[in-house]
Amino acid sequence: MQQKQSLMQVIKFTLFSASAGIIQVGSFTLLNELLTMRYWPAYLISLLLSIVWNFTLNRRYTFQSAANVPIAMAKVLGFYAVFTPLSTWLGDVADRASVNEYLILATTMIANFVLEFLFCKFVVYRGQENTRTK
């Protein structure tokens, strides 16, 4: 039963992350192509939009948690306090080295997907999964 539940969490997290990815890529493309922003501000804005979307959906539907929202969000912000500066800096370094900005974005999005799932599962919602009442 636990294995099936974990598999369903991975599937839901993947689907919601894909929708957040669409938001991130779409907003990044608009900022990058239409406003011709440098990589790092376009990445940062698009990342923040996807974080809010992903947090909201995954707390409610993937982990079905009744965890205190401000505390859960603070934990997620702690994750992003490390991930965001590191990925922004490394992305900027790669951009200055003429690596394609969409390849950089894809790489950071994959790293974000894997690391955020693990962080949410084992830190943010640990012991608080499936506590939300309908």
Percent of the chain with pLDDT over 70: 99
Return the pLDDT at 134: 67
Residue 30 near residue 96 (C-beta atoms within 8 A): no
- Between CA 25 and CA 48 the distance in angstroms is 12
SS3 content of the chain, % helix, strand, coil (to 5): 80, 0, 20
pTM, full prediction: 0.84
- Find the helix packing angle between 39-57 and 2-29, rounded to 10°: 150
pLDDT tens for 13-33 read: 999 999 999 999 999 999 999
pLDDT tens for 52-106 read: 999 999 999 999 988 888 999 999 999 999 999 999 999 999 999 999 999 999 9
Return the pLDDT at 130: 85
Residue 70: both structure tokens together: 């401000």
Q: Where are the beta strands (DSSP E) in the chain?
A: none
- The CA-atom distances, in angstroms, between 17 and each of 11, 12, 20, 22, 75 are 10, 8, 5, 9, 18
- Between CA 80 and CA 74 the distance in angstroms is 10
